Amino acid sequence: MAGEQERQPTQLSRREALKTMGFWSVSGAAAAVLGVPGLRFFVGKSLEPGDEHWVEAGPVKELSPRTFRAIRYQFRSKDAWREVDRQGLVYVRVQEDGTVLA
């Protein structure tokens, strides 16, 4: 391969090295400064525990053993800046030992 020229490794000057390190340092700092609030915005309150509330489902005496019963319930929840009425559905049954399974 007489036609190919042998490549010589290029020398990196101190100025080029400092310029490259400075660029990536500033870029990394800017990404951290902008990225942390941006990530917090996208995640929102999903990592915080929500408010727990109990909903009255009715007397246990009305439930028959070994059969499921659909019980609808409503509750009011705060969704960011407004309060919303929400509905849910739960299937409940009483087991033979008297415990309630939902």
Number of domains in the chain: 2
Residue where a domain terminates, one of 48, 68, 91: 48
Domain holding 78, by residue range, is 60-101
AA letter at 59: P
**Residue 3 placed within a domain:** no
pLDDT of residue 4: 64
What is the pTM assigned to this prediction? 0.44
- Whether residues 97 and 67 share a domain: the answer is yes
**Residue 4 placed within a domain:** no
User: If we measure between CA atoms, which residue out of 48, 70, 47 comes closest to residue 57?
Assistant: 70
**Residue 94 placed within a domain:** yes
Task: Look at strands 100-101 and 82-94 and give their pairing.
Answer: antiparallel
- Whether residues 43 and 74 share a domain: the answer is no
Q: How confident is the model at residue 55 (pLDDT cuts 50, 70, 90)?
A: confident
User: E-assigned strands of 38-96?
Assistant: 69-79, 82-94
- Whether residues 67 and 96 share a domain: the answer is yes
